[in-house]
Structure 1
């Protein structure tokens, strides 16, 4: 369905700096001409898509542009909350609690009511059974090293 493809392209472009028409065509199994028409449609709808020509060319979205919460369903936000809670079971890091609160803030009032009625839902505890603080003591230093090396 075209609308699904357009939304998927928008999310992809928001998450990547630049994507070639060829890569988009292969990913969505359409022609390059269809990709160009889709980019025109996105531009006409108000999404700031820019085309760059040449060997390193492709499409990108203006860096300051963000997607509205309205594109995320209640189920998708609930899945994000479950994943963040799961990561919080392994990593002793306050950023996961903060991230969880920010993601929950994306919920509308009716979504929050639905969430409260359903309870906590599923949380994927990624911490191996019986290895509470010991696993964190192993994972956290590795995480810090990876962060330092990726700078």
Structure 2
């Protein structure tokens, strides 16, 4: 990756008087012309790069130049190591690992980081992540089938722009040729993803946000309009002591009250204006089985009762 290579070269320049462009090209597996462009980029970023002629020539930094420690202190280096370590583990990136080792040698940070970030989960498809990363780097069109929130399956062609992690899941965003607009897609819902033998040109940023891959989106509204239109409801749930950990994981921002028998009552405020927005609630509550009971409001209890009856009806007849 270019960014990691540039960071690595900067630290080499800080620790060596002269660096040969030919040797740097061999070390990073690129052409000398690429190193020349890297030096131009580093110089444009404010580092005083100078060129030395002759058989022992190469690139170095202006005499007397030193990196301001207030710009990149030990805390900053440790933070960089934490993030790079998490990404190198996810993407199996040896170049990033080399950068980590150089950062550790500069600040003598050899111990394990005090903060560690693990982006993996049971739902993470590392192979898909690496494929999309390649598509972005080499500007390949990606073809896949997508299951949206309405459970509709559609074929998509995407010019991927970036990958990001939010709300505990990985997403890819870019220009969807199938819908001719900027869209974002959750990786766990992408099927049969392949790279097309077709390159695309980088598009101008026409929007700061992406539309999700769903076909139908609720109408946009200002925050004040949403406050007036949404129906906010307090859900009160009694959780037995056998499901405390699960409840704490699922409802992290809810108000909690513990009882002498080991059970817990949680209170959370949600909007039930759009049915699609409440699917997660009923699915989560049903996942607790007999270890959670909704005490309020009555309409949520009624809906859960209806869903349980529907589930039971599916098992009334022998499928054979």
Structure index of larger Rg: 2
Q: Determine which structure has the larger helix proportion and give its number.
A: 1
- Of the two structures, which has the highest relative contact order with CA contacts closer than 8 Å and spacing of 6 or more? 1
